[in-house]
Amino acid sequence: MIFSKSYCPHSTRVKELFSSLGVQYNILELDQVDDGASVQEVLSEITNQITVPNVFVNKIHIGGCDRTFQAHQSGLLQKLLQEESAYDYDLIVIGGGSGGLACAQEAAILGKKVMVLDFVVPSPQGTSWGLGGTCVNVGCVPKKLMHQAALLGQALSDSRKFGWEYNQQAKHNWETMTEAIQNHIGSLNWSYRMSLREKAVTYVNSYGEFVEHHKIKATNRKGQETCYTAAKFVIATGERPRYLGIQGDKEYCITSDDLFSLPYCPGKTLVVGASYVALECAGFLAGIGLDVTVMVRSILLRGFDQEMAEKVGSYMEQHGVKFLRKFIPVMVQQLEKGPPGKLKVVAKSTEGPETVEGVYNTCDYINVPTTVFTPLEYGCCGLSEEKAIEVYKKENLEVYHTFFWPLEWTVAGRDNNTCYAKIICNKFNNNRVIGFHILGPNAGEVTQGFAVAMKCGLTKQLLDDTIGIHPTCGEVFTTLEITKSSGLDIAQKGC
């Protein structure tokens, strides 16, 4: 099907291509029908293409003139023009996040006919978002940018010690920050749609449900249903935040899904839970000047090294975050309507006669680098100290550790015994590094490089043989000397 205009030379080229291939085609000359402008407007909404020709082959949107010729040169056009298979698509991917998009585009590059179904069920507060999944819309990207906003606040405070003089009191504007972040996210949503279009992947903004083998029902936001069939399906739907299951939670509380696009400053905030998402959100909210309390059921950062987790919590407490430990909420009541309004939270102790039981699934962190973007970042790769002892036994391990003082912190007068580095080595495997942990500025950037080294079999000797870049935080791992087993003090006594 070719949507064309009779006078358009690009449309003529496409018609000539199909004719040369001996392919019969339907054509609609938009300049020769009364509702041509309306048709082009609808096409624009469906395909994000405002120009002609606009070409479809066997229900697949190919694009304009250049895209059609590119598809011809790559062999994709010929594949699509072959007899229809038993199914509408070779592959349907359910979920338009990082995994789903990567899978769909790779399959398309390999010449498969692919569709992506992506639909975000709005949160109880009505929040939804575009293509790209959790990471782009309500995860890594906005989280890191809000973390950066908080770090800039700390930098403003430090700047006076470096000679910057200013009289006006610095004040943070929530609306300015969220607008800038949402504009950036919008550009990423658009780029993902364009990337799918370039690879001739059909994108449908609908909710997918299996109805029978090889058949799926897609329901759009208007409730309209369409069925599609495919030889293969990939489910890449990801996860959403879990509500507490208590009175008032969905009515009055927000989750991280809502926070990053919240149109107003949340004000005094209670963060329930101590996962990395909870602590990251608490950290940047406190960093921009809000009153923040974290309610913790049991431990911080379950699944992570607990020595590092407690250091993260200690730093946050020193910088204004309050922790309410061994409590869980049982009811939320609204005292004043917002935004942001005023809520009352009733909680109970977990140390009383009533206990809370739950099932937790934690990710396998072995040699998968990760960073918690709390006010002081925590990066790690490999095993926690607890897990290493469980797997290898304490007597078979050597743990090297030290506090360190980033150069940027010296003039600012920030504490010299806060940033911390530690590696866990297997003594009977050439002192191979099986756990890497750092608490300090830019921990994510530091950890990423060392993660590659661990994939290559990093040992303590290799670290010792490496020349550090001075003055950096990462160089601390090239000069580690003190072991935990020695009992020597790692605190810095002076400059």
Active site residues: 470
User: How far lies 182's CA from each of 138, 263, 279, 419, in Å?
Assistant: 10, 11, 22, 32
Strand-pair partners of 398: 425
**Cα separation of 54 and 44, whole Å?**
10
User: How far lies 431's CA from each of 159, 437, 439, 482, in Å?
Assistant: 42, 16, 22, 15
What distance, in Å, lies between the first and last C-alpha atoms of the chain?
74
| Cα 56 from chain centre | 34
**Which residues have a Cβ under 8 Å from the Cβ of 96 and sit 6 or more positions away?**
116, 117, 118, 131, 132, 133, 192, 203
Q: Are 90 and 113 in contact (CB under 8 A)?
A: yes
194 closest CA partner among 100, 316, 61? 61
**Cα separation of 90 and 97, whole Å?**
20
What string of DSSP letters covers 204-234? E-SEEEEEETTEEEEE-TT--EEEEEEEEEE
Tell me the Ramachandran region of residue 486: left when phi exceeds 0, alpha when psi lies from -120 to 50, beta otherwise: alpha
